[in-house]
Amino acid sequence: MKGMDRRLVALLLLAVLARGAAVLALQSHRVPNSTYEHGEIAASLVAGRGFSMHFLGADGPTSQQAPAYPFIVAAAYRIGGVETPASLLILQLAQAALGGVMVLGVFRLASCVAPERPAVAWWGAGVAAVHPTLVYAATHVQVALLAATLVAWTLVWGLRAAASGSGRDAAAAGLLLALCALTDPILALAAVGVLVAFRLGGEGRPIWKPTAVMLGVAGLGVAPWVARNAMVHGEFIPIKSTFGYAFWQGNCAISQGTDKVVRPSVEDVMGEANSAAGLSDLNRALWKARHTAGYIDDVAFTPEFKRHLGTLPEAERSRVLLRMAIADIWADPARYAGLCLRRFRYFWLFDETNPKSRVLVYRASHLTLTGLALLGLATAGAAFRRRSLPLLATAGAIALFHALTIVSARFHIPIEPLMAVWAGAGAAWIVDAATRAVRSRSVAAVGGVEHVGVVGRLG
């Protein structure tokens, strides 16, 4: 094995081991009620009831979640039992291994964006390997880590297709784009970045050919699930039925722009977190604070309204909530504009309604990643910024979508591998600057010694 290959394998092992250590240290697999909708659907799959759950007042077949992740959770349940610590440990350790795949994607992506500067790829992958949010994501039953991995690799293959003009590369990008959409439809916005890559890297080739291949393969990839939705719900539902529900959560009259509410009781639980004796106790206290915060539904829905929603088809429940949110916006458009600005701030800085984003290690690491990314974009040169446009377009599209609809701390995770690429450039610049400074001082010192020697001889 070549030296560089051994170094890369070591870096990937570091990523996996860091995540595995977090899983074992935090003991999230022993936290009750930590699987949310994914776990409920997975339990239904294992029990033979199909892709179903209790949602907005009714039980039955659902499109409340995209299918990819609940099926992964169901696979873990089949091995270790439904929502047992053993099955959740299996799932989280598998996600630790997936972290290595994500870091490899960052390495390949940075190699595409900065091919003339190998240090950027190494530093970028190193940042992704140990960045606390990306490590912590492996300890959760949520799509964030899978989403981050798929977005990174979709752009890798998109950039490859743009450079090669190969239909096979474009088809690979399309397959990954389909997996993105089947993990979370919002991730389909990665197509924006790939299309920018096609436009920049075509070298005179028409971009309609790779675009047609990519979108055609992606369409074929999601078609079976769309057909399933049509059969189950009797109407066209692209992937999920819940856009109206999520939009209502983020924009109803009592919303603060997220799906959570702020309760005074959360402060008491955060006090427990501040006095926690160890990492597992801290993690358990943060989970307790998260459960205490609850969802906006808990405050806004009366039992009668829930029963009313339960009498409606699933897609209609979401449309009812969408109409309610739009009515609230029309009643106070300025408030909606303010929510959008608040969500934009929450997305790039901190979701103030999420207790977990108030922890110092989260805030410090988040600001460090953002600062390094901005430094990298500012110092790496025009060619780097131009080749980064597909990444910038993807991150911008995802950020804009959440600013206009609803935001949460976990929604930032899919773009963090892209930020790691820019952070790699920032870290490389700092190392280069420090090296130049050391060399400059060394040269000055040598010059001083030589000068003294000459003066001494002359005397």
More confident residue, 177 or 434: 177
Dihedral (CA of 380, 386, 389, 390) sign: negative
CA 369 to chain centre: 14
Q: Can you list the alpha helix ranges (DSSP code H) found in 165-276?
A: 167-183, 190-201, 208-233, 243-251, 265-274
Question: CA 175, CA 127: separation in Å to the nearest integer?
Answer: 27
Q: Torsion-angle region of residue 56: left (phi > 0), alpha (psi -120 to 50) or beta?
A: left
**Mean pLDDT, rounded, of the chain:** 91
pLDDT in tens, 1-40: 455 588 999 999 999 999 999 999 999 999 888 898 999 9
Average pLDDT over residues 155-159: 97
pLDDT in tens, 72-102: 999 999 999 999 999 999 999 999 999 999 9
* pLDDT of res. 453: 57
Closest CA to 87 of 136, 46, 137, 37: 46
Question: CA 399, CA 133: separation in Å to the nearest integer?
Answer: 17
What is the rounded (10 degree) CA torsion for 201, 207, 212, 217? 0
pTM of the model: 0.92
* pLDDT of res. 196: 95
pLDDT surpasses 70 at 455: no
Copy the structure tokens of residue 246: 């999520």
More confident residue, 80 or 289: 80
Closest CA to 55 of 241, 239, 332: 241
Instruction: Give strand pairing partners of 54.
Output: 59
* pLDDT of res. 1: 47
SS3 47: coil
pLDDT surpasses 90 at 52: yes
* pLDDT of res. 24: 95
**Band of residue 290 on the pLDDT scale cut at 50, 70, 90:** confident
Percent of the chain residues topping a pLDDT of 90: 76
More confident residue, 201 or 426: 426
Closest CA to 372 of 430, 412, 414: 430
pLDDT in tens, 105-145: 999 999 999 999 999 999 999 999 999 999 999 999 999 99
pLDDT surpasses 70 at 451: no
